[in-house]
Amino acid sequence: MTTYRETYDRWQADPEGFWMQAAEAIDWERAPEVGLTVNDDGVHEWFADAQVNTCWNAVDRHVAAGHGDRLAIIHDSPVTDSVTRITYGELQDRVARLAGVLTAQGVGMGDRVILYMPMIPEALCAMLACTRIGAIHSVVFGGFAAHELATRIDDVQPKAILAASCGIEPGRIVHYKPLLDSAIEQASHKPGVCLIFQRPQEVANLIDGRDQDWSEAVAAAEPVGCVPVPGNHPAYILHTSGTTGNPKGVVRPTAGQLVALHWSMRNIYDVMPGDVFWAASDVGWVVGHSYICYGPLINGSTTILFEGKPVGTPDAGTFWRVISEHKVKSFFTAPTAFRAVKREDPQGEFLKDYDLSALKYVFLAGERADPDTVHWAEEKIGKPVIDHWWQTETSWSIAANPAGIELLPVKAGSPSVPMPGYDVQVLDEAGHPVPPGTLGAIAIKLPLPPSCFATVWNAHERFENSYMAHFPGYYETGDAGMIDADGYIYVMARTDDVINVAGHRLSTGAIEEVIAAHPDVGECAVVGAADSLKGQLPLAFICLNARVTRPHDEVLAECVKRVRDEIGPVAAFRHGVVVDRLPKTRSGKILRATMAKLADGEAFRMPATIDDPTILDELTQALQSIGYANTGEIA
Ligand code: COA
Ligand code: AMP
C-alpha cells in the first residue's frame, strides 16, 4: 500500500509526471501532451494544450459507460419537506436541454452566465449546462443582496442570468426575483435574457421581452452535446472577498479542475464511483462548486444537495438523519455547523436515533477547526474528524489528511499535511523560511498545482499585486500560521482584513464602505470579533460627524440596515459602537488588529507606532458598554 510520504515524494520528484498520470482518469477530446506551460502573462497553466469538456466528464461519460441508472444527485430539502433523486441519465437529459435553451439564446463559448440560485437541482444543471457549451458561469450566493449581485453583473457582463423565483430560509422566503430586478437596474450592463425557475413557494412576475420561464423553455428545447474547450479555458468565475470592497473574480481553469478534483475525491475523501458524498455547503461558495457539483460528479459518485440548516430544519438531528437515510460515506461541513449542533444537543442525543454505519469520515473546512469542536464531534460521532485547509483560489485542499491514501494521526488544531502539488512554506516578513514551530505568513512555492486560479477576472494586475508580489516566487495565501517538526501545518489567522463569519469569507473593507457612506458617519473601522457560534462576527467602530445630535442607536440601526440591504444578510452585521476617534499609527493607518484584540478582551502588545495610546482606554470603555472586551465572547 502506498503511503502519504511516498505519494508526496513522488510528486516532488516529478511534479509534471505526477499530474500527467492523474490526468489519465479524465476523458480527453485531445489528451494533453504537456503538463505545465507558462502563459502570455508569465503565469503557470496546466494541460493548456488539451481539448476537453467538463460536463462530459461529470455526466455523459458515466451514462456512456452504462451507469445511466446510478444516482447522480439526491436533493434533500427539509425546508420543502422533500427528497428528489436524479440519475446520471436523467441529469444528462436535463442538462443537455438547458444547454439547448442557452444555445438558442445565442450563449456560446466564452460567454458569461450569472447564476443566482438556491440549493435546488436546477442550480447544478445550470452550472453543468454552461460548461457543456463552453460558457463561463459565475454563481452569486443567495445570501448576497442586490448591490453585490449588481457588482458581479458589471464585472462579468453576462449574456444571460439564470435564477429561481425564490429561496427558502427557515421562517422566511428569500425573494430572489425582486433582488434580481433591482440588481439589473443598478448595474450598467444588462443581460440579454433571464431564465427564471418558478418555485411553487413563490411564483415571480416575469418581465416581458427579458424574462423567460425556465421550465417552459427547457420543455421546448432541443438537447445539445458537449463542446470541447482548450484545457486553460475558464470553467467558471467565482468572486471572493479581499481587502477592498471590490470582490475578486477567481477564474477556474477547465482541465486543471477536472484532474485535481478527481484526484482529491479518491485520495483525500476516499470516495469511489457509486459512493455517496455530502458537502453541506452552498453552491454559492467554492465548496459547493468543487464538492457539491464537480468533484463527486466527475468521480461518478452520488452527491447530496442539502437545502436546510444544521439546526432548526427541523432539529439538531438533521445531519445524522441525512447521513443515515442516504448512506453517506464521506461528510464535509464547517466547524460552525457542528458548533450550532453542539449548542442544541451537547450530549448528542439525536445521534442515538440514527444508524451511521455507512459513514467513514467527517471532513471540516472553511475556518479554523477549534480543538473543542473537533473533539466533541469525534467523541459523539465515533469516526475520524479531519480538518483540511483550502481557499476559493485553490478549489481543493492545500493541506489535508489524505484518508484515501493513508489516514495519518490527527493533531487537533492542524489541517495536517500539504497535499501533492503544494510546497507550503512559512515565511518571515523578509520572505525567508522560518524554523519549525515559528509563526509567519503561509506561502506556496510556485508553480501552483492544477485547478488553482491563474488570474483574476478582468484584473490580472490584482492577481499579481494581491497574491504574487509580496513574496516573489511564492503565492501568498493571506493566512498566517506555522509548520511543526512533523510537517503538520497550523493555520491561525488571516494576515489581511478578511474575516470569517460562519465559514463565510467577508471583507471588512466592504462593510466599512457601506457604513462610511451613511451621511452621519465620519469614519469607521470594522473588525472580526470572536463569536462562540460563528467564529467571528463583524464589529464596527463608528465616528460620527461633529454636527450629529440624533441618538446614536438610531444611526447604528440605520448602518445595520444598510449593510443588510447592500451586502446581504450573510454579513451578519449587528454590532457597532460609537467612539470619538479610532486608534491609528502616526502615519494614519487604523490599528484593526489591536481593536479586535480589545474587543475579545485578549492581551496585546501596545503597537510601537500608535499615535496616542490613551485612545485604547476610551475604546475599552465603549466596548464594555456593549458587552464586549470582557471574556472574548459576546455577552
Ligand atoms: N440565501 C439567503 N439568505 C441566506 C442564505 C441564502 N442562501 N444563507 C444564509 N442566509 C441568511 C440567513 O437566513 C441569515 O439571515 P437572518 O439574519 O435573517 O437570520 C443570515 O444570512 C446569516 O446566515 P448564517 O451566517 O448562515 O447564519 P444562520 O444563523 O442562518 O445559521 C449556521 C448559522 C452556523 C447554522 C450556518 O451559518 C451554517 O450552517 N454554516 C455553515 C456554513 C458553511 O457550510 N459554509 C461553507 C464553508 S465550508
Ligand atoms: P474561502 O476562500 O471562502 O474558502 O476561505 C478561505 C479561507 O478560510 C482561508 O484562507 C482561511 O483563512 C480559512 N480557512 C479555510 N479552511 C480552513 C481551515 N481548515 N483552517 C483554518 N482556516 C481555514
The predicted pLDDT at position 631 comes to: 44
- Alpha carbon of 633 to ligand 2 centroid (Å): 21
Place of cell 515559528: 438
The predicted pLDDT at position 604 comes to: 81
The answer, yes or no, to whether residue 632 has pLDDT greater than 80, is no
Task: Specify the range with the lowest mean pLDDT, choosing from 210-219, 519-528, 536-545, 603-612.
Answer: 603-612
Indicate which residue's Cα is closest to atom 5 of ligand 2.
391
Instruction: Find out whether 269 and 276 touch, Cβ atoms under 8 Å.
Output: no
Ligand 2 neighbourhood includes 491 CB (under 6 angstroms): yes
Q: What is the pLDDT of residues 477-500, one digit of tens each?
A: 999 999 999 999 999 989 988 999
The answer, yes or no, to whether residue 451 has pLDDT greater than 70, is yes
Ligand 2 neighbourhood includes 529 CB (under 6 angstroms): no
Q: What is the pLDDT of residues 328-362, one digit of tens each?
A: 999 999 999 999 999 999 999 999 999 999 999 99
Mutate to test the pocket of ligand 2, among 373, 391, 393 (most ligand atoms within 8 A of CB): 391
Q: Which three cell numbers stand for residue 83?
A: 427528497
The predicted pLDDT at position 629 comes to: 66
DSSP-derived secondary structure for 95-108: HHHHHHHHHHTT--
- The percent of residues in the chain predicted with pLDDT above 90, rounded, is 91
Nearest atom within ligand 2 for CA of residue 493:
12
Helix H or strand E segment including 624: helix 615-625
Written as one letter, the residue type at 442 is I
The predicted pLDDT at position 241 comes to: 86
Distance CA 41, CA 322 (A): 46
For the segment 312-322, the average pLDDT, to the nearest whole number, is 98
Q: Is the pTM of this model over 0.75?
A: yes
CA-based nearest residue to 552, from 584, 508, 520, 589? 520
Phi (first) and psi of residue 195, to 5 degrees: -100, 120
CA-based nearest residue to 428, from 445, 447, 441? 441
Angle between helices 146-156 and 176-186 (to 10 degrees): 50
- Alpha carbon of 498 to ligand 2 centroid (Å): 10
3-state secondary structure of 633: coil
For the segment 124-146, the average pLDDT, to the nearest whole number, is 97
- Alpha carbon of 442 to ligand 2 centroid (Å): 12
Helices (H), 268-398: 286-287, 295-298, 318-326, 335-344, 371-381
Q: Which three cell numbers stand for residue 203?
A: 411564483
Kindly report the average pLDDT of the chain as a whole number: 95
Distance CA 574, CA 561 (A): 9
Q: How many CA atoms lie within 13 A of 325 on its CB side?
A: 17
Indicate which residue's Cα is closest to atom 4 of ligand 2.
391
Polymer length of the chain: 635
- Alpha carbon of 570 to ligand 1 centroid (Å): 6
Instruction: Find out whether 275 and 365 touch, Cβ atoms under 8 Å.
Output: no
The answer, yes or no, to whether residue 635 has pLDDT greater than 70, is no
- Alpha carbon of 493 to ligand 2 centroid (Å): 9
Distance CA 128, CA 88 (A): 12
Q: How many CA atoms lie within 13 A of 379 on its CB side?
A: 12
Distance CA 551, CA 347 (A): 45
pLDDT band at residue 633 under the 50/70/90 scheme: very low
Indicate which residue's Cα is closest to atom 9 of ligand 2.
391
Nearest atom within ligand 1 for CA of residue 281:
44
CA-based nearest residue to 386, from 264, 225, 254? 264
Distance CA 74, CA 552 (A): 49
The answer, yes or no, to whether residue 592 has pLDDT greater than 50, is yes
Set out the domains of the chain in order of their start, with CATH numbers. Answer: 89-227 (3.40.50.980), 502-625 (3.30.300.30)
Nearest atom within ligand 2 for CA of residue 498:
12
Distance CA 349, CA 123 (A): 34
Written as one letter, the residue type at 165 is S
Residues with CB under 6 A from ligand 1: 142-143, 167, 169, 174, 280-282, 285, 287, 309-311, 333-334, 336-337, 340, 365-366, 502-503, 569-570, 572
- Which regions of 395-465 does DSSP assign to beta strands (E)? 399-400, 417-418, 423-427, 440-445
pLDDT band at residue 634 under the 50/70/90 scheme: very low
The answer, yes or no, to whether residue 431 has pLDDT greater than 50, is yes
Distance CA 623, CA 635 (A): 11
The predicted pLDDT at position 588 comes to: 87
Place of cell 489541517: 415
CA-based nearest residue to 74, from 290, 273, 303, 274? 303
Number of C-beta neighbours around residue 613 at 10 A: 10
Q: How many CA atoms lie within 13 A of 441 on its CB side?
A: 19
pLDDT band at residue 378 under the 50/70/90 scheme: very high
Ligand 2 neighbourhood includes 391 CB (under 6 angstroms): yes
Nearest atom within ligand 1 for CA of residue 533:
34
Start-to-end C-alpha separation, the chain: 52
Distance CA 120, CA 74 (A): 10
The predicted pLDDT at position 570 comes to: 94
The predicted pLDDT at position 452 comes to: 98
Helix H or strand E segment including 150: helix 146-156
CA-based nearest residue to 536, from 367, 355, 316, 331? 367
Q: What is the pLDDT of residues 573-586, one digit of tens each?
A: 999 999 999 999 88
For the segment 82-87, the average pLDDT, to the nearest whole number, is 98
The answer, yes or no, to whether residue 630 has pLDDT greater than 90, is no
The predicted pLDDT at position 174 comes to: 96
Written as one letter, the residue type at 435 is P
- Alpha carbon of 66 to ligand 1 centroid (Å): 39
Instruction: Find out whether 355 and 324 touch, Cβ atoms under 8 Å.
Output: yes
Mutate to test the pocket of ligand 2, among 373, 476, 505 (most ligand atoms within 8 A of CB): 505
- Alpha carbon of 10 to ligand 1 centroid (Å): 41
